[in-house]
Structure 1
């Protein structure tokens, strides 16, 4: 791993902020690194407020969207809430449906079938709306590239409102309203909302138009926080505020569906990491293994006992997902080895029998293994569908776009994308993608990087230091959990490999003149046991560990040298 130290911030700014806040200089340095340089900015950061959310009407087309929905409600038109089958899409659909059903009864939901319809707005979905008398479709987390589908809907007298956050193409659909802060002509101040976040801004605007207040919408924030966590959007600005209050809802008064998912957990308070690794995979499993409708049904369920039954079904889907994921990853690794492709700049693999619902997870696993841009293909009807994942610092969306002559369809983000090609184009696409990445990627990006925030004297780790550090949560992209560096530490001689396969490292680190001891755990670092015989350097996070009823601060090692 490469250890990369973040640039040193301005020393005067660090000292000034430390003095104003009465905190350790290391903590002040972490704040300045995150662009927080004044008392007021720190107050907003440590004490998020719903008052800091932007006026939703600053978003392009918001007023038009609100007027169209109000007209639909007044005229008792049928409204179809349409969304993608992943976490962001299903939470967004659940949010919009839950809000609208309180005001009108003519609302239904539609999630496309991952296998029969594929990603985004489908012709089948438009036909469903037209055939069943829906005059308005509100599309969430999709639609920004559905130019032909929206036109097709127009011809069938079905209106579209699009709420999306994916990168727009040169043209946008001719919908009644297109809500997407990433549009070049949209002056909305915050550009990094997820799809559910854009949906939340729409219900916020509807609430304000009807003389409501933001506090009325707090119960919906458990859905928004789940989408923010799952979609790996920056935890900055509005996303941080929405995630902060959404986590409070998850921990105090979650909707029945989320309550049913987490009811067996022993943890008293869930973090954003728990949302990513516990709640999100289960919601995702519905669309991956069966159908996204199961997720929407769970997230909108008003009866808790029924929610428990639905959550049990989704738990089975998640178990199936884990088995498929493990089996396909193993097959992909064999394919790469058999084809002697370990030394390439990219990983591109294909098998017509791989389950379309888990190829994104497999792409992530392969990226972790080989650490290079990765695409996993499978058969989807008469075409090949794929999920792409990237390494830190490399834009896989742009790399795929550079292979446009071979693409039937594609979309996504810098680090994750989906695409469709014709079977006969596979080898040509694979060759071109390798060429594009080889020419454009910096070689050091092919080695995993640990971004180190600050050097820390272990003697500085006090309960107060840790308490303030925890107030920087929720953590996530652009506000990651701080990683510290300490040099020339020693183990007390009882360091050992732990875990059933001895893959983890358990140490007791001695530091300072008073020879204080700090418990440390290094997951997947068991092979480095030989490095701890003498002085060594560590990169680590801080966390709490409870053992036999005693809670202490422990070091979670990321690497050691």
Structure 2
């Protein structure tokens, strides 16, 4: 098995819905069969489905009290406020955790003064609920901790807190273990005994459901907490949860709040961005990395402070500091990625089914990013280890279709602890277990992963002709937003294309491909293929070729034009 073979793209054309279903939906909502087909692929089958998809409403959100333990959580918070107790809002140091803490703490502080926040130190305490955090709560006479984006596996720590007279409300979205912590309330739709109808909320999303429940109990309309949805949309985008059903509604309205730029912290981040309207991709690549940088390079409390700051001048000062953290993070992750690639090659591990690398000097704050970069290079399950106190800690990333969490569970005899999702996880182990774990992980993956999973897949929604791309088609396609997992931007295949004679390599080292494509006698359409500079000879040979691409708007000098964003090219 060679790395170059692994990384060759495979094209998968999605099954076309049944003709009868296409015709029925096309007639019901008065759209073209092509649009109807794209909607059916996204689970939109009826007029009512289409209404929810194209016109999300806050009224589409579920009753928060459908979530198991929500009534207990609300009762305990109301009791704490009535008795004048000290409340600690505790969350993880990543985007989901810090936005959740900013959301719940600022909501409570608007109504009650005895509220503090706590973000664990990534290096001294590690992920999730910590004994140090509980001791901090005890030292400050806290009797209620609201844990966000963590806590579902904190069995011993919740018990430790109970012995100190501290109650826990857990708001988590990670997969529970066999045992649920003995907290006052455990809000997690992934609990097998939770009847809540949607289980893909992120941690900040669970936090929003909690404040929605508090508002509902108080008899106030949901519009009163609309302004918090910028934080929820940021967390949804950063945590890569599906943007479907309830998450779609939250993201749709959250983007409206982001684009109003009312929150000083987010406005300060966006001050240097010359873009009229931000979408999910902008949140992922502009806002999220800067919020994350605080927890990676310094401390997550800086992110919470920025997101809750009300003074614009102070927010700009904080955003400047976080921008410096982010620049430092970019430099480090580039350096460590290069070192990790050298390690893989020098150990002659290019042909393995996994990438597992370790250096005790690598910065713990960026190993997750490095794991993602290595996965892009070799396209296989990847773990990047560094030293964390007396233990080794790793960030893990997977490839599409392969359940990393299950693979780690098969190796749990070697692990101190682990947690996460199907595609991303974190873990710690004793250094003496490293080599045995590495061998076991390779064995488990090699036995359970399919050859197809080791090749990056481009899922194609439909084959179309360039002539299908009309202004009306583009207007309707824009209404498919917000895009994300579960509703990805449509990808199309067109065959028998030719370059109009403008193909050239652009960018540093001519890494990218710029061209104008034609199909038959159609007008030429501008196209860009990022990272496809090596395909230039194929295009220039004069023969026809096929391309898979998404549709984009190119904004240049105040002009907006259609552009194909090419993902891959093959000769016909």
User: TM-score normalised to the size of structure 1?
Assistant: 0.99
Deviations 1:179-221 (A, max 9, x none): 0000000000000000000000000000011111110011000
> What's 2:546 paired with?
537
Question: Is the aligned partner of 1:557 residue 2:572?
Answer: no
- Give the match for residue 326 of structure 1: 334
Distance across 2 between alignment mates of 1:351 and 1:231: 27
Residue correspondence of structure 1 range 308-457 to structure 2 within 5 A: 308-457=316-465
Out of 507, 515, 520, which is 2:527 matched to? 520
Q: 215, 218, 222: which is aligned to 1:214?
A: 222
| 1:98 alignment counterpart | 106
Cα deviation for residue 552 of structure 1 reads 1.0
- The whole-number CA distance in structure 1 between the counterparts of 2:425 and 2:129 is 16
Q: Once the two structures are superposed, what CA deviation does each residue of 1:73-96 show, in whole Å capped at 9, x if it has no partner? A: 111100000000000000000000
1:231 alignment counterpart? 239
Q: 1:191 aligns with which of 199, 202, 216?
A: 199
Aligned equivalent of 2:265: 257
Q: Is the 8 A contact 1:452 1:485 kept in 2?
A: yes
C-alpha separation in 2, matches of 1:426 and 1:9: 48
Equivalent-residue separation in structure 1 for 2:555 and 2:138 (angstroms): 57
The question of 1:155 aligning with 2:163 is answered: yes
- The aligned runs of 1:118-137 (5 Å cut-off) are 118-137=126-145
Shift of 1:289: 0.1
Q: Does 1:16 align with 2:24?
A: yes
Q: For the residues of structure 2 that align with 1:414 and 1:202, how far apart are their CA atoms?
A: 26
Range 489-498 or range 75-84, more displaced: 489-498
Deviations 1:10-65 (A, max 9, x none): 21111111122221211111100011011111011000000000000000000000
- Measure, in 2, the Cα distance between the counterparts of 1:121 and 1:393: 30
Counterpart Cα distance in 2 of 1:298 and 1:547: 32
Taking the TM superposition and a 5 Å limit, the aligned residue runs for 1:78-93 are: 78-93=86-101
Moved over 4 A (4+): none
What does residue range 302-313 of structure 1 map to in structure 2 within 5 Å?
A: 302-313=310-321
1:365 shift after superposition = 0.1
Note if contact 1:222-1:254 (Cα within 8 Å) is conserved in structure 2. Answer: no
Aligned to 1:42: 50
2:514 and 2:363 map into 1 onto residues whose CA distance is 38
**For 2:72, which of 64, 67, 87 is the aligned residue?**
64
Quote the offset at 1:518 in angstroms: 0.3
The offset of 1:510, in angstroms, is: 1.2
Tell me which moved more, 56-65 or 251-260: 251-260
Q: CA deviation at 1:7?
A: 1.6
How far off is 1:547 after superposition?
2.9
Instruction: Give distance in 2, aligned partners of 1:322 and 1:79.
Output: 36
The secondary structure found in structure 2 opposite 1:516 is coil
SS, match of residue 509 in structure 2: coil
2:191 is paired with a residue whose SS is coil
Equivalents in 2 of 1:549, 1:364: separation in Å?
Answer: 35
Deviation of the 1:355 alpha carbon: 0.2
Aligned partner of residue 80 in structure 1, secondary structure: strand
What is the Cα deviation at residue 367 of structure 1?
Answer: 0.1
Q: Give the equivalent residue in structure 1 for 2:3.
A: none
Distance in 2 of aligned mates of 1:175 and 1:354: 36
- CA contact 1:240–1:474 (8 Å) conserved in 2: yes
Give the equivalent residue in structure 2 for 1:474: 482
On the 8 A contact 1:164/1:180 being kept in 2, the answer is: yes
Aligned-pair distance for 1:512?
3.1
Displacement, 1:531?
1.4
Partner of 2:5: none
Counterpart residue number, 1:289: 297
Residue of 509, 517, 520 corresponding to 2:517: 509
Asked if 1:546 is matched to 2:546, the reply is no
Give the alignment partner of residue 41 of structure 2, picking from 24, 33, 55: 33
Partner Cα separation in structure 1 for residue 538 and residue 27 of structure 2: 39
Q: Secondary structure at the match of 1:81?
A: strand
What is the distance in 2 between the residues matched to 1:90 and 1:194? Answer: 12
Q: For structure 1, which runs of at least 5 residues remain unmatched after alignment?
A: none
- 1:87, 1:227 within 8 Å by CA — same for their partners in 2? yes
**Alpha-carbon distance between aligned partners in 1 of 2:12 and 2:151, rounded to the nearest angstrom:** 39
Give how far 1:253 is off: 3.9
Alpha-carbon deviations, 1:392-412, whole Å to 9, x = none? 000001101100100101000
Larger deviation: 419-428 or 550-559?
A: 550-559
Q: 2:254 aligns with which of 246, 257, 271?
A: 246
Structure 2 length-normalised TM: 0.97
Match of 1:139 in 2: 147
- 1:55 corresponds, among 37, 50, 63, to 63
Aligned-pair distance for 1:549?
A: 3.0
Q: 1:443: Cα distance to partner?
A: 0.8
CA distance in 1, matches of 2:384, 2:280: 28
How far did residue 482 of structure 1 move?
A: 0.4
Q: Is the 8 A contact 1:459 1:512 kept in 2?
A: no
CA distance in 2, matches of 1:23, 1:503: 39
